[in-house]
């Protein structure tokens, strides 16, 4: 069975703090893809990153960084020096080779307080 | 560049009335298309997906249906809305197993 778990329902931080959003996935497939999306209050989901199962290299994009560890089946997302504009719901998702469907986690609501 | 449109942006409909939500994609051909529903404060539920014209796969049995009359057009319909159909409806497209790109969504309130 395939599953994505985002155990943190809601996180509140003060601006400029670093915050890590956890994502744990389950799949028996050896080829799969992991994604992170941001859903701001406007509602539209914004694609942030895709990582395939053969690429465990961590990635940094500005204040965002992602840590992919196959040994723990995790794909965590860290925001450095958080800002109020980072307040949103963040979703982690999984898809496997040969399917067109995503398995979404339940999302983590991040509140960044000024 | 690719663009995805959804309309209407908001909709208030009485119980038992019909529904038609439209999604169109520009700037790509033969995309995979998806309809999701998000209930208030909840995650995303995949309703339908399509890999080509006239090809619809349903994920959840319910009173909704989907159609794909043209390559880049995806329509979500209902003959009679239920209160439980209220939610935020998102359309998305992708090219095979690449990332999905989402539209702005339609907020549906069934009264």
Q: What share of chain A is helix, strand, coil (3-state, %, to 5)?
A: 5, 55, 40
User: Do A100 and B96 count as a contact with CB atoms less than 8 A apart?
Assistant: yes
- Does B97 touch chain A if contact means CB atoms closer than 8 Å? yes
B37, B87 in Cβ contact below 8 A? yes
Q: Measured in whole angstroms, how far is the alpha carbon of residue B60 from the centre of its chain?
A: 13
A44, A100, A106: residue with CB nearest B49? A100
Q: What is the pLDDT of residue B97?
A: 65
**pLDDT of chain B, 111 residues: tens digit per residue:** 889 999 999 999 999 999 999 999 999 999 999 999 998 777 899 999 999 999 999 888 678 999 999 999 999 999 999 999 999 999 999 987 688 999 999 999 999
Q: What is the pLDDT of residue A19?
A: 98
A91, A74 in Cβ contact below 8 A? no
Q: What is the pLDDT of residue B7?
A: 95
pLDDT digits 0-9 by tens, B59-78: 886 789 999 999 999 999 99
**pLDDT of chain A, 114 residues: tens digit per residue:** 889 999 999 999 999 999 999 999 999 999 999 999 999 998 999 999 999 999 888 888 999 999 999 999 999 999 999 999 999 999 999 998 777 788 999 999 999 999
- Does A52 touch chain B if contact means CB atoms closer than 8 Å? no
Give the number of beta-carbon pairs within 8 Å between A and B: 50
B32, B99, B107: residue with CB nearest A50? B99
Length of chain B: 111
Contacts for A97 with CB less than 8 Å, ≥ 6 apart = A29, A31, A32, A33, B97
Tokens of B16: 């038992």
H helices of chain A, in order, are: none
- Does B47 touch chain A if contact means CB atoms closer than 8 Å? no
Residue A67 CB-density burial (10 A; 0-12 exposed, 13-18 middle, 19+ buried)? middle
- Does B44 touch chain A if contact means CB atoms closer than 8 Å? yes
Q: How far apart are CA B11 and CA B8, in angstroms?
A: 7
Q: What is the pLDDT of residue B61?
A: 66
Q: Give SS3 for B62.
A: coil
Q: Comparing C-alpha atoms, which of A57, A78, A79 is closest to residue A68? A: A57
């Amino acid at each position: 069975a395939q599953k994505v778990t985002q155990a943190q329902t809601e996180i509140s931080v003060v601006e400029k703090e670093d915050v890590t959003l956890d994502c744990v996935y389950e799949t028996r497939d050896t080829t799969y893809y992991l994604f992170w999306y941001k859903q701001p209050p406007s509602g539209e989901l914004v694609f942030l990153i895709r990582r395939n199962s053969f690429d465990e290299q961590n990635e940094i994009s500005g204040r965002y960084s992602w840590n992919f560890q196959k040994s723990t089946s995790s794909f965590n997302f860290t925001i450095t020096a958080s800002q109020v504009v980072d307040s949103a719901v963040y979703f982690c998702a999984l898809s496997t080779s040969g399917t067109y469907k995503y398995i979404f986690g339940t999302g983590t609501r991040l509140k960044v307080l000024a | 560049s690719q663009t995805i449109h959804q309309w209407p942006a908001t909709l208030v409909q009485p119980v038992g009335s019909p529904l038609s939500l439209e999604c169109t994609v520009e700037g790509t051909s033969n995309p995979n298309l998806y309809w999701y529903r998000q209930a208030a404060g909840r995650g995303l539920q995949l309703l339908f997906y399509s890999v080509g014209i006239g090809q619809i796969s349903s994920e959840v049995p319910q009173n909704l249906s989907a159609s794909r009359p043209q390559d880049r057009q995806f329509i979500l319909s209902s003959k009679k809305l239920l209160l439980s159909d209220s939610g935020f409806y998102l359309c998305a497209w992708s090219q095979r197993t690449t990332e999905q790109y989402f539209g702005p969504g339609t907020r549906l309130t069934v009264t």
